[in-house]
A and B are shown apart, each in its own frame.
Chain A
């Protein structure tokens, strides 16, 4: 993280959060996490390989990783005292709050499903 420019890291985290939101909706609909890949890619902003890579990160780290990363970014932004960075971090915070507010059921359900996540990852044929 130290070697990645702060704004690149913020953008990456934003994309992870977007993918995570869809993973939670897919879970609620009892769909596989992989089913979101074509759907997110279809909008055209991220391509299939980008969504797949982001999904892999989610499946490995889970939601908790997003919060850990956010804390690190927030600390780095405060340290930089850059108002633009602080503003960008605020936006990410709102995105995370949104996930927590509107996907609370899925988050609770997902907390106990690490096994399922691991199985999903194995099905992808990746390590």
Chain B
């Protein structure tokens, strides 16, 4: 029989798992992550041979706690996602505040999935939660709609469904049930609102072609033709005819987003949130795929979360991108530490 302290820890973990589910719907991100970490530690202690064989009751309670924690992590992930959805629809609250970070939701649902065993009947439910949160993250990357009646120069590429500030609430169906009706309902909502954009896109194409063939971009704003063109430029989403300034602006924008993602990742890393931190570094790398700095941070983070193969790949990228210098030295040092 093991020490009472270990049994106490297990009992507390079970209880905390139930509290996270039965309590109010406010997301409790820190507690959920802490609970997962605690359970992993308790389970490891139970498995240590020197503590003696595990009793039947301990095995039962360990298993019960595992199930309770999966349910708790899944609930918290959904609670974060629901809060994010509420915030997004309220327009006044910052959607990326710490308690409604969808990366946390994804991390929690991933941790829940990792706790599943092969014969768990609710593993598919966890999988559906993960997938739904991934979809929400994809949704989040699209900026919220601007309250303007005039289309902007970039709105052509954004679909109507992307503009929907409140994606559908999560409906977790049971085994054998289909989510198809929800998707069909969604599509039917999206189709009519897409039509004006399609029409606008068609007009853009026509005007664009006309501008090429008639060289109307050289027409000034004076005279009848000029006034028509000027009006068209104002009302329709015509691509800017002075493209020289766009790459610089885009670069500045991308650099800003890269820095923001990197800094947020570093902050998460320093707080011990390695999963969400890795998500931020990957996001930074989608903006600048040749940044040795982002690869180095990703490598460090993946090492801390014991994802050695991925960490190795990231660190090798650092050396490939910058073969000499302090970053390469650190990457080489970290690579030498990997098992």
Residues on A facing B (Cβ under 8 Å): 14, 18, 22, 25-26, 29, 31, 35-36, 39, 42-45, 87-88, 90-91, 94-95, 98, 101-102
Contact A39 B61 (CB under 8 A): no
Shortest Cβ gap from B119 to chain A (Å): 10
Main secondary structure of the interface of A (DSSP, over half): helix
Given contacts A25-B18, A31-B22, A36-B22, A95 and B122 within 8 Å (CB-CB): no
A18 to B64, CA, bound (A): 9
A14 to B55, CA, bound (A): 16
Given contacts A25-B18, A25-B19, A29-B22, A94 and B57 within 8 Å (CB-CB): yes
Task: Give the residue among A44, A91, A101 with the most B Cβ atoms within 10 A.
Answer: A44
A101 to B15, CA, bound (A): 13
A-B contacts, 14 of them at CB < 8 A, read: A25-B15, A29-B23, A35-B22, A39-B22, A39-B71, A43-B68, A44-B67, A44-B121, A44-B122, A90-B56, A90-B57, A95-B57, A98-B11, A98-B61
Shortest Cβ gap from A4 to chain B (Å): 21
Contact B57 A91 (CB under 8 A): yes
Count how many pairs of residues, one from A and one from B, have CB atoms less than 8 Å apart in the complex.
53
Contact B22 A26 (CB under 8 A): yes
Residue of A nearest to B121 (CB): A44
Given contacts A91-B60, A94-B57, A39 and B21 within 8 Å (CB-CB): yes
Within 8 A of A (CB), among B267-314: none
Shortest Cβ gap from A19 to chain B (Å): 12
Contact A39 B57 (CB under 8 A): no
Residue of B nearest to A35 (CB): B22
Tell yes or no: B49 within 8 A of A by CB: no
Inside 8 A of A94's CB, which chain B residues have their CB? 55, 57
A31 to B25, CA, bound (A): 13
Within 8 A of A (CB), among B1-27: 11, 15, 18-19, 21-23
Tell yes or no: B79 within 8 A of A by CB: no
Inside 8 A of B67's CB, which chain A residues have their CB? 43-45
Shortest Cβ gap from B47 to chain A (Å): 19
Contact B22 A42 (CB under 8 A): no
Q: B56 touches which one: A35, A43, A91, A102 (CB < 8 A)?
A: A91
A5 to B60, CA, bound (A): 21
Inside 8 A of B11's CB, which chain A residues have their CB? 98, 101-102
